[in-house]
Amino acid sequence: MNRHYKLFTLLLISGIAAIDDTESWSSISLETKTPYFSKIKIEQSLRLKNEAQNFKQTFTEVSLYYKFNDYITFNVPYRYAIFEDKVKSRISFGSALKYKKKDLTIRYRTKLENSKELNKEVEKTYRNKISLQFKLNKTYRPFISYEAFNIYDKILQNKDEDRYSLGIVVQVFKKTALKVYYAYKREGLSKKHAEYFGVLGLDYSVEL
């Protein structure tokens, strides 16, 4: 396991030297259990660009989760995002598979996104993410993840974006957690000139 973390870290470090910009992503989320769904989650997020100095977007997302069994969960998130020059709404349909062995948890998530901007066609994106999380103790859980984005236009297109992430989840209190991470993302891979970004992320979550 340590060897995999070291290899993943080296890949991230090698990518940092080639980035075009560094962004900052922060969010706060509240989640609670309900009688009809496993849980409902509300998230408010802010993203900055240009070395984390200028506004990029802010969004509010509401997600419904249904736990089918100990391994499979379905979810439907709806997002309303405000950019500098546009507003987008997005609804997604996803599922996640979880496998746990002792202190290691492996998750695989797949999701189809439908994004809509005013006076424009619906954009569809197919996302696949795999993550590994290791529980060091009751407080710290380091993780690594990889996610691929494919444009979906009647047929599944080539990969257009991907993300490599490395971070840690800190259990601050029993129902409060803080996630700190760094992500290396590549955008426009299906185009002639791709762009490369580094992301410093901070997520704060509370269970009600």
* pLDDT for the residue 159: 87
Give the residue ranges of the chain where pLDDT is below 50. none
What pLDDT does 35 receive? Answer: 83
What are the tens digits of pLDDT across the range 109-122? 999 999 999 889 99
What's the confidence (pLDDT) of residue 20? 77
Is residue 19 within 8 Å of residue 197, measured between CB atoms?
Answer: yes
Domain coordinates of the chain in residue numbers?
2-207
Q: Give, as one character, the DSSP assignment of residue 172.
A: E
Summary mean pLDDT of the chain: 91
Which residues, at least 6 apart from 50, have a Cβ–Cβ distance to it below 8 Å? 21
pLDDT the model gives residue 125: 94
* pLDDT at 7 (0 to 100): 56
Asked if the 2-207 domain carries CATH number 3.20.20.70, the reply is no
Tokens 């990889």 map to which residue? 146
What pTM did the predictor assign?
Answer: 0.88
CB count within 10 Å of CB 111 equals: 19
Determine the pLDDT at residue 97: 98
**Between vectors from CA 45 to CA 43 and to CA 47, what angle results, nearest 5°?**
160
Q: How many CB atoms lie within 10 A of CB 51?
A: 11
